[in-house]
Structure 1
Amino acid sequence: MAMILCVLYPDPTTGYPPKYARDDIPVITGYANGQTVPSPQGKLGFIPGELVGCVSGELGLRPYLEANGHELIVISDKDGSNSEFDHHLPDADVVISQPFWPAYLTADRISKAKKLKLALTAGIGSDHVDLKAAAEHGITVAEVTFSNSVSVAEHVVMMVLSLVRDYLPAHEIANKGGWDIADCVSRSYDLEGMHFGTIAAGRIGLAVLRRLKPFDVHLHYYDPHRLSADVERELNLTYHDTPQSMVKVCDVINLQTPLYPSTEHMFDDKMFALMKRGTYLINTARGKLCDRDAVVRALESGRLAGYAGDVWFPQPAPADHPWRTMPHQGMTPHMSGTSLSGQARYAAGTLEILEDFFEKRPIRPEYLIVDAGSLAGTGAASYKLA
């Protein structure tokens, strides 16, 4: 019997389950790169479209795990030395966490998790796990790659349009009974004809570029792994060999690069100084890609016309985090990748990985980040051990 410690965000404040707006969600069978959606062998423990990413939802895992004699503990209390997470961690064989409510598996915590064999991200992004420490302790790290990439890409497009058209202040004027059209449009522009660039053009970055092409914008990208000539021609992409080159010419910049030591605080005062006045910045990758206070300064000075994102550091962000109150922002809690549609896929992928792990079958390479003491699969292409 194994003990599975699952850390999920709390239930809705209005109670669980919520009243759903729709009766179903579209059936997706594959992704743009040809990868198939998660395909567990057993029956899902939920109906696709249900809220399963919170504590009571349990990712729908309880039926499978208990039928096979395993123990499932689901909590939301994850921070501090007296947290439920730290209390249960020494007995855990498997830890499941989400990027939206990450249980930070630091080197210190890993050293105390003597039984831990698998650290599983329900979603995409394993930077809340100290990958070097996991490799040294022989812990497998896996995530449900591509499961919610389109969910995030759609969120990016929404944020781009919200900032450029200055939608949120106009909506607030309408909510308050006003009809102040001059105020609504004084910072509102068309996206058409602007230069849009993405830093990292992997699964999410490329999906964003494809979705913005019909808006007749000039598309730019930087990525250490250049896209094929066919893709560059298809989207009429301009490639830049450094992020600094790209940010100088773009009106809207999208961050999708993974977080590791060399990208931490990539966007600081020096980087902002390279940008056009009035640039918009979107960040649904990781909060620590940006220097927190430099973002505030750039908005207050007008160097940035707007900043939108759903990633913070730490997560959840404290109530006094300056990004909550800085001007011209469109921040949300980290929710872009946990739409009900995305949850159906990453919960199914979590079940698939657990089935493979317990039944001693190879985990899909695209789901692997660390295996057998080193980076593996997607991890080898996306992360660095540092």
Structure 2
Amino acid sequence: MEEDKPWALISEVGGECGYLQELSHILTQHFRIICYKEFLQNPALHGPKIQALFIWKFLPEAEPALLGMLPSLKVVASGGVGIDHVDVPYINSLGVKLANTPGVVSDSTADLAMGLLLASARRILEGNQIAVDPMTTSLPGSLMGVEVTGSTLGIIGMGEVGYKIAQRSKGFEMKILYHSRTKRSVAEEQAVGASYCESLSDLLRRSDFVTIAVKLTPDTTGLIGHRELSLMKPTAILINISRGQVLDQDALVKALQSGTIRAAALDVTHPEPLPRDHPLLGLPNVLLTPHIGINTYSTAERILEKMVKNALAAVKGLPVPNEVKQPNC
């Protein structure tokens, strides 16, 4: 019965950053949901009811001020893999469980990485603009792209997403290099034809395409800056589907303007969206998408299902399948 369901706080249903209306039943099947705007109208009334906080597209933000209004909170269930937007030690210190949704976002994110690589290499967006321009009367022969088949791809971060990218790249007969905190097994390397680079610098020098697929941590913040970009081939293309803070955007602008590298394709920036006067928006050799790596219906459905499963376990006092704890916990 409806009154027996636990209460959950969400951002909103619909809107730019809310849950898709057609998928909201996944939440309402198990929880009585209240949207953030309604909650703020009377937090003293609603706060004590809330046992689960669902974070979708980083909202609502799990800030101390909000968490302090939720005395019955048992779990923060975040959609996606990254946890850089939440204070893990603080949430754990409250006795509240934190969970993410690994294993369901990798395919769609890897698909987008390959889409960005192909679109940038073959200048698909520019081609589309020419093809649909009402002033076009003849097709240019000068719109030359970069060969993908047989080229060298360097993957920075060979976690689940990075490995999925390698699997897809094998189909294009690409030579795959990777640099990662953890080396893959020989069998895993052989399955995709990947070679490990001890040095990030070595990978950057040798790659025709460089894809960033790391998690955002203190160690990876600013990982690619002036020095790293200067090591890349002037014909190289950089793809980022991780987090905007991994890349020094000022350094990237200079590298693209000076011809240090050929082009960049970014699904993530910092901030999001970029200010409308940001120089990256005006460069012809930049392809930008609005952080849509996980934006497919099937992926969104799987994320929500996993969020609900994690939250229900926490509310019932059962082990949380995808619990995230602070280091050394």
Cα distance in structure 1, aligned partners of 2:171 and 2:275:
38
Name the structure 1 match of 2:186.
229
Specify the SS of the correspondent of 2:214: coil
Q: Distance in 2 between matches of 1:8 and 1:324?
A: 29
- Cα 1:86–1:167 shift into 2, 3 Å: farther
Q: Deviations over 1:136-193 (max 9, x none)?
A: 33332111111121011111111110011111101110010423323422xx121122
Give CA deviations for 1:68-112 in whole Å, capped at 9, x if unaligned.
xxxx1234x7xxxxx9599699655322112x4444435666566
1:181 maps to 2:164: no
* Residues 180-216 of structure 1 deviation map (CA, whole Å, 9 limit, x = unaligned): 323422xx12112211011111111100100110211
In the alignment, which of 16, 26, 43 is matched to residue 60 of structure 1?
A: 26
Query: Can you list the C-alpha shifts for 1:305-348, whole angstroms capped at 9, x where unaligned?
Result: 22112222233444344433333111111112021111121111
Does the CA-based 8 Å contact 1:53-1:338 persist in structure 2?
A: no
Look up the match of 1:95: 53
Q: Could you say which residue in structure 1 is the equivalent of 2:87?
A: 130
Distance of aligned partners of 1:197 and 1:349 in 2 relative to their CA distance in 1, 3 Å threshold = same
* Corresponding residue number in structure 2 for 1:30: none
Task: Pick one of 157, 160, 165 that aligns with 1:208.
Answer: 165
Partner residue in 2 for 1:264: 221
What is the TM-score of this pair, normalised by structure 2?
Answer: 0.86
Match runs of 1:38-77 below 5 Å: 53-54=19-20, 57-58=23-24, 60-66=26-32, 72-75=33-36
SS in structure 1 opposite 2:171? Answer: helix
Q: SS in structure 2 opposite 1:184?
A: coil
Query: Aligned pair in 2 of structure 1 residues 368, 57: CA closer, same or farther (>3 Å)?
Result: same
- How far is the alpha carbon of 1:262 from its aligned partner? 1.4
Partner Cα distance (1:255, 1:222) in 2: 10
Residue 11 of structure 2 corresponds to: 7
User: Alpha carbons of 1:318 and 1:183: their partners in 2 closer, same or farther (altered >3 Å)?
Assistant: same
SS of 2:15's partner is: coil
Q: Is the CA contact 1:195–1:220 (under 8 Å) kept in the aligned structure 2?
A: yes
Question: Matched residues in 1 for 2:224 and 2:189: separation?
Answer: 26
- Quote the sequence identity (%): 22
2: CA distance, partners of 1:123 / 1:272: 29
Give the aligned CA root-mean-square deviation in angstroms: 2.9
- In the alignment, which of 295, 312, 322 is matched to residue 338 of structure 1? 295
Which residue identity is paired with 1:184?
L
Partner-residue secondary structure (3-state), 2:271? coil
Distance 2:59 2:154 in 1: 28
Please list the CA deviations of residues 6-46 of structure 1 after superposition, one character each: whole Å capped at 9, or x if unmatched: 12585369xxxxxxxxxxxxxxxxxxxxxxxxxxxxxxxxx
Alpha-carbon distance in structure 2 between the residues aligned to 1:105 and 1:85: 18
- Please tell me the residue identity of whatever aligns with 1:74: C
Match for 1:279 among 236, 239, 257? 236
How far, CA to CA, are the matches of 1:156 and 1:304 in structure 2? 18
Q: Secondary structure at the match of 2:184?
A: coil
Superposed counterparts of 1:301-380, under 5 Å: 301-364=258-321, 367-370=322-325, 374-375=326-327
Unaligned runs of 5+ in 2: none
Look up the SS of the partner of 1:215 in the other structure.
Answer: coil
Which residue of the partner structure matches residue 195 of structure 1?
152
The verdict on how the C-alpha distance between 1:130 and 1:282 changes in structure 2, with shifts beyond 3 A counting, is same
Question: What secondary structure, in the 3-state scheme, does the structure 1 residue paired with 2:239 have?
Answer: strand
Q: Which amino acid aligns with 1:248?
A: R
TM-score of the aligned structures, taking structure 1 as reference length? 0.75
Matches within 5 A, 1:231-250: 231-250=188-207
Deviates more, 1:109-118 or 1:347-356: 109-118
Three-state SS of the structure 1 residue aligned to 2:30 is: helix
The answer as to whether partners of 2:179 and 2:200 remain within 8 angstroms in 1 is: yes
Distance in 2 separating the partners of 1:162 and 1:62? 39
> For the Cα contact (< 8 Å) 1:93–1:116, is it kept in 2?
yes
Contact 1:94 1:116 survives alignment (8 Å): yes
**Secondary structure at the counterpart of residue 196 of structure 1:** strand
Number of equivalences = 320
Match of 1:168 among 125, 131, 135: 125
Larger displacement relative to structure 2 (122-131 or 309-318): 309-318
Instruction: Note if contact 1:94-1:118 (Cα within 8 Å) is conserved in structure 2.
Output: yes
Query: Is contact 1:272-1:303 (8 Å) kept?
Result: yes
Counterparts in 2 of 1:255 and 1:61: CA distance versus 1, 3 Å: same
What is the Cα deviation at residue 292 of structure 1? 2.0
